[in-house]
Amino acid sequence: MENDLLEIRMSEAEVRQMSPLALAFIGDAVYEVFVRTYLASEHRNMSVHNLHVEAIKFVKAHSQSEVIKKLEQELSDREMYFFKKGRNAKSGTVPKNADVQEYRFATGFETLIGFLYLIGNRDRLNYLFRFIINLKNKGGF
CA atoms of 35 and 55, how far apart (whole Å): 6
The answer to whether residues 27 and 117 touch, using CB atoms and an 8 Å cutoff, is yes
Q: Is 28 a catalytic residue?
A: yes
CA atoms of 112 and 67, how far apart (whole Å): 12
Please pick, among 28, 77, 99, 123, the residue that the annotation labels catalytic.
28
Contacts of 131 by beta carbon, 8 Å cutoff, 6+ apart: 70, 71, 74
Single-letter amino acid code for the residue at 130:
R
Single-letter amino acid code for the residue at 138:
K
Q: Which residues are catalytic?
A: 28
